[in-house]
């Protein structure tokens, strides 16, 4: 049986994200129209899915996700804040974003993005961030990456709505290529033995 000493916290976060963003039915979870479920129900569902995680309790789960902006906890309930592939009846409200947002991707995707725009793929929305460094960190596992800048005033003038997911993540249905500018290219720092 696994213990807290050798526990893979990243795997727990991924399991939670999958349950709350993509396939709650697989975990026998019911989400309300805004994506909320009982914290207790989530813990029970995770324990049933991973029998060796029987030691997981509310304090362990909260400690694992402390400081993350991917989940929200309120009054004994939890939800994923963004990244859903399931349709929510009440997605985040439409709001006015800052003047510049960033979107990162693997460099191999650049030609199709410049031609077709940024599409939501299997998710409900396309994700953008105001935090450039966060986008760079997000891309750290890509062999080569590109970050696009989106200047939002002309996008808003064209009638594209944005939704605020959290303090730095913004959502849109898609982004037309005419609003996309390559901001930077890079690759992870080499690791020296």
Indicate the angle between helix axes 9-17 and 58-65, nearest 10 degrees: 90
Tokens of 120: 């939501």
Q: What is the pLDDT of residue 86?
A: 66
Q: Chunked in runs of 10, what are the mean pLDDT values of the chain (193 residues)?
A: 65 89 81 86 83 84 86 89 73 90 93 93 82 85 90 96 86 94 78 43
Q: What is the pLDDT of residue 6?
A: 65
Which candidate, 47, 43, 1, 42, places its Cα nearest to that of 20? 42
Query: CATH class for domain 94-186?
Result: alpha beta
User: Around Cβ 24, how many Cβ atoms within 10 Å?
Assistant: 20
Q: What is the pLDDT of residue 33?
A: 83
Residues 6+ apart with CB under 8 A from 166: 69, 72, 81, 82
Q: What is the pLDDT of residue 67?
A: 83
Domain definitions of the chain by residue range:
9-80, 94-186
| Model confidence pLDDT, tens digit, residues 78-125 | 988 877 776 767 777 899 999 999 999 999 999 999 999 999 876 778
* 1.10.510.10, 1.10.10.970, 3.40.30.10, 1.20.1250.20: CATH of 9-80: 1.10.10.970
Q: What is the pLDDT of residue 68?
A: 83
Q: What is the pLDDT of residue 151?
A: 97
pTM for the complete prediction? Answer: 0.64
């Amino acid at each position: 049986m696994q213990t807290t000493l050798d526990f893979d916290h990243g795997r727990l976060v991924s399991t939670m994200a999958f349950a709350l963003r993509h396939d709650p039915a697989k975990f026998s979870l019911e989400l309300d129209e805004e994506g909320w479920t009982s914290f207790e129900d989530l813990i029970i569902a995770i324990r049933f899915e991973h029998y060796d995680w029987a030691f997981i309790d509310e304090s362990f789960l909260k400690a694992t996700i402390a400081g993350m902006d991917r989940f929200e906890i309120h009054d004994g309930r939890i939800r994923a804040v963004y990244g859903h592939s399931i349709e929510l009846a009440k997605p985040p409200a439409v709001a006015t974003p800052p003047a510049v947002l960033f979107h990162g991707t693997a460099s191999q995707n650049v030609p199709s993005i410049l031609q077709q725009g940024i599409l939501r793929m299997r998710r409900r929305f396309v994700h953008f961030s105001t935090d450039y460094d966060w986008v760079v960190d997000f891309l750290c596992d890509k062999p080569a990456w590109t970050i696009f800048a989106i200047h939002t005033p002309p996008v808003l003038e064209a009638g594209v709505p944005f939704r605020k997911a959290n303090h730095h993540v913004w959502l849109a249905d898609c982004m037309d290529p005419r609003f996309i500018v390559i901001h930077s290219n890079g690759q992870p720092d080499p690791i020296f033995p």
